[in-house]
Structure 1
Amino acid sequence: MRLLNTKTLRVQEFFTEIPRYAILSHTWEDEEITFQDIQSLITLADTCNGRQLTFDDIQAFLPPTQLKKGYTKVVQACVCARNSAFDWIWIDSCCINKESSAELSEAINSMYQYYEDAVVCYVYLFDVSGKLHPKNPASDFKRSKWFTRGWTLQELLAPEFISFFDKDWTKIGTRWSLRDVISVVTTIPMDVLGRIQLKSTV
């Protein structure tokens, strides 16, 4: 599998001895970052001198026609992972070369395993504001598009730990702390969600 370095944004392929990694679950939006987009940053990664790349670095490096909104999501996910001492993260949009049908097929078949093997899963909800607690009836948490995705079930059940983030990348809860709300939205019994992890500490 390929993993994205959370500091340099370089993609590296691992066949054995896969390092501990975080994984991102998200709803695809306009201008997602592809494997080819990330490869275009190799020169920038070589000049970072060991420091963490920022969106400003990317903005200064790329011509305006190549600067996609999705870079913000990738950078923020990497910052989140780095803050929890992860050197690697898996993001489907840029860790899979979708121009290869064979690779795409293999990744789809391995997806559950990728999420199960991750130390933690970050769920990014681009359409949720953190102004109201997810348990507040007026919160938009329960209406997030993330819950309508076909991949949501396995990405919700496979990881050992899950943390949810609002549109500003503020942590709003974990699968454990929000299990009652998640159960209402997904109809997954609350005791099933509770058995997956007794308490998230990530």
Structure 2
Amino acid sequence: MTKLAKMGKGERDQVCRRYGYRKILDSCEQAKRDRCEWLWVDACCIHRRNTAEVAEANNATYRWFENSSMCYVYLNNVSGPSLPTARDNEKYSVSNGWPKWFSRGWTVQEMIAPSNVQFFNSHWQPIGDKKTLSRTLSRITGVPQHILSDGLSGNRPCVWNQNEGAGSVSVD
């Protein structure tokens, strides 16, 4: 962001049109509307083929999500006012028939760890929260609905299993 101020107008305009930049700005606007004092935006990816790096990132960020007052989920490839309730291999061909966010390695912890998860479509319009969407989210991810609506009690499940890949839940 500091380098951005030092760039020429053409280069700066090009950066400002990127998806990650828009995600940061729109997240900040939403956080302002929600009167949040602090915001952490996950706009960079880790090297997903490096299992040690993925495991370390999953374990470290779980606490960030767990301690947050709210977590925003920006579904950049969902344009409508709701989550899809059935697999659509044509519309979401690169992500097993569901919106791309559900194919990421740390999606499960982002849904389980925070008590308040708000979902937004590609226009930053609210779709719902994890409690009201728990039935659909459970169908998509395989995470039991009661964990999404009521949270975890007692011991938390393993977030990362190196033998199974990112997350302990698979999307069929």
Q: TM-score, normalising length from structure 1?
A: 0.57
Aligned equivalent of 1:134, options 59, 83, 93: 83
Percent identity, please: 31
For structure 1, the 5+ residue unaligned runs are: 1-37, 45-57, 99-103, 198-202
CA distance in 1 between counterparts of 2:65 and 2:87 reads: 31
The C-alpha deviation readout for 1:131-158, integer Å capped at 9, x for no partner, is 4x33665987971011111111111100
**Structure 1 residues 59 and 75, CA gap change in structure 2 (3 angstroms):** farther
Do 1:123 and 1:164's aligned partners in 2 also have CA atoms closer than 8 Å? yes
Matched residue, 2:24: 74
The C-alpha deviation readout for 1:17-56, integer Å capped at 9, x for no partner, is xxxxxxxxxxxxxxxxxxxxx2225x69xxxxxxxxxxxx
Q: Which has the higher strand share?
A: 1
In the TM superposition, what are the counterparts of 1:52-201 in structure 2 within 5 Å? 63-69=12-18, 70-93=20-43, 108=57, 109-131=59-81, 133-134=82-83, 143-196=98-151
Q: TM-score, normalising length from structure 2?
A: 0.66
Deviation at 1:187, TM superposition (A): 1.2
**Structure 1 residues 186 and 66, CA gap change in structure 2 (3 angstroms):** closer
CA distance in 1 between counterparts of 2:130 and 2:25 reads: 23
**Structure 1 residues 86 and 60, CA gap change in structure 2 (3 angstroms):** farther
Ranges of 4+ aligned residues in structure 1 off by more than 3 Å = 58-68, 135-142
CA RMSD, 1 decimal: 3.5
CA distance in 2 between counterparts of 1:66 and 1:163 reads: 27
Aligned length: 138
Deviation at 1:189, TM superposition (A): 1.4
For structure 2, the 5+ residue unaligned runs are: 48-52, 153-172
What amino acid is the match of 2:104?
Answer: R
